[in-house]
Amino acid sequence: MFEAPKLVDDLNVSLARYAVFGHPVAHSKSPLIHRAFAHQLGIALRYDAIDAAPGTLAAALSRFVGEGGVGASVTLPLKAEAFALAKACSARAKRLGVANTLAWHGDHWFADNTDGEGLIRDIGERHRIDLRGRRVLLVGAGGAAQGVLPALLDAGVSKVTISNRDPQRADQLCDWIGDPARVQTWYLDDLRRAGDFDAVFNATSAGQYGQALDLPFTIANPRTLAYDLSYGKAATSFLAWARAAGCAYALDGLGMLVEQAAAAFELWHGDRPDTEPVYRQLQRDAAA
Ligand code: ATR
């Protein structure tokens, strides 16, 4: 006679485990996204959200491997820690020195960074916007700005102007990328004199703290793409500015989130999910 497993845990024992590590992490949409991808492709897995305070990621990952963990997404503030503990990495993760994806290779972690790819795919494939030749303003000079700067340059933008509240950090980011012909800095307080841009990226965390950026309308033109790397409430103020400024597009980072997850999923499973239904579902959830 067929005996059903007594506990859900009995079913989970043999499942390959994946998780997102962050601090905090309860808000993360990664479990939802990865479970949806797995369902779509008929892959059985378990995907959790695991909180790890800074300095504890290596220990948390060892425990995770002991429990069957083979893949990890890594979010703030653990991306540098994730990169440092990996014994091997992709070229793009090496360039950035931070990782958002880890894959267990039997005896070590392999690190990758799919954030830049996620951004470029969202803009180019979902929204069908060509970045080539665009003059870009990148507002912010923290980890988020650094994470997308190489990908923007690789996508063929003509120029990137970095503008940050703390101008020294903008200069540091500019020096780090080392492309003086294409990357320059500008004082955030003085953007009124900077002319207009074909794309404006908000890579600051201002919106996460309920603060608004004071950006002049003069930086936008009627074909400007305005893109906030955050999504949801954190992006509201910047997107409202973009619409009022008459930008052609005002996009939040929800699509980037789904695309960076899809790239991680492909690294782990070798299969690329269809991101569109998952993106649409998250948009509907956000609007509800
Ligand atoms: P992340 O990894 O999310 O980029 P971060 O490294 O702390 O986080 O960087 C946050 C960015 O948002 C910084 O560029 C920060 O400006 P400073 O370098 O001057 O701190 C920017 N930022 C945060 N709040 C801001 C605000 N109210 N106005 C303008 N910039 C802000």
**Residue 143 and residue 263: Cα distance in Å, rounded?**
20
Does 275 lie in the same domain as 164? no
DSSP output for 140-172? --SHHHHHHHHHHHHTT-SEEEEE-SSHHHHHH
283: left (phi over 0), alpha (psi -120 to 50) or beta: alpha
Mean residue pLDDT of the chain comes to 95
Neighbours of 103 (CB within 10 A): 19
pLDDT band at 287 (very low <50, low <70, confident <90, very high): confident
Asked whether residue 3 is domain-assigned, the answer is no
pLDDT of residue 14: 78
Residue range 97-114: mean pLDDT, rounded: 97
**Residue 168 and residue 190: Cα distance in Å, rounded?**
15
pLDDT of residue 7: 42
% of the chain beyond a pLDDT of 70: 95
* Total of domains in the chain: 2
Q: Phi then psi for 136, rounded to 5 degrees? A: -110, 140
Asked whether residue 9 is domain-assigned, the answer is no
- Check pLDDT > 80 for residue 128: yes
Q: What is the DSSP letter of 6?
A: S
Catalytic residue among 6, 79, 87, 94: 79
Mutational test site, ligand 1, from 115, 148, 149, 204, max ligand atoms within 8 Å of CB = 204
pLDDT of residue 231: 94
Residue range 149-178: mean pLDDT, rounded: 98
Does 163 lie in the same domain as 82? no
CA of 115 to the centre of ligand 1 (A): 18
Residue range 163-174: mean pLDDT, rounded: 98
Instruction: For residue 99, give the CATH number of its domain.
Output: 3.40.50.10860
Does 131 lie in the same domain as 27? no
**What pTM, to 2 d.p., does this model score?**
0.93
pLDDT of residue 288: 84
Does 152 lie in the same domain as 87? no
Domain extent for 139: 116-252
- Check pLDDT > 50 for residue 112: yes
Residue 88 forms beta bridges with which residues? 110
- Check pLDDT > 80 for residue 23: yes
Instruction: For residue 222, give the CATH number of its domain.
Output: 3.40.50.720
Residues 176-214: pLDDT tens digits?
A: 999 999 999 999 999 999 999 999 999 999 999 999 999
133: left (phi over 0), alpha (psi -120 to 50) or beta: left
Q: Show the DSSP H helices in the chain as ranges.
A: 8-12, 30-41, 57-66, 79-85, 91-96, 115-121, 143-154, 167-177, 233-244, 254-269, 275-287
Mutational test site, ligand 1, from 115, 165, 185, max ligand atoms within 8 Å of CB = 165
Q: Is the CB of 211 under 6 A from ligand 1?
A: yes
Residues 39-96: pLDDT tens digits?
A: 999 999 999 999 999 999 999 999 999 999 999 999 999 999 999 999 999 999 999 9
Which atom from ligand 1 is nearest to the alpha carbon of 213?
28
CA of 142 to the centre of ligand 1 (A): 6
Residues 232-269: pLDDT tens digits?
A: 999 999 999 999 999 999 999 999 999 999 999 999 99
Which atom from ligand 1 is nearest to the alpha carbon of 144?
4
- Check pLDDT > 70 for residue 11: no
Does 164 lie in the same domain as 247? yes
**Residue 121 and residue 267: Cα distance in Å, rounded?**
16
Find the farthest-apart pair of alpha carbons in the chain and give their distance in angstroms, rounded: 79
Cβ atoms of 148 and 116 closer than 8 Å: yes
Instruction: Look up 79 and say whether it is catalytic.
Output: yes
Which atom from ligand 1 is nearest to the alpha carbon of 76?
2
Does 241 lie in the same domain as 174? yes
Atom 2 of ligand 1, nearest CA residue: 143
% of the chain beyond a pLDDT of 90: 94
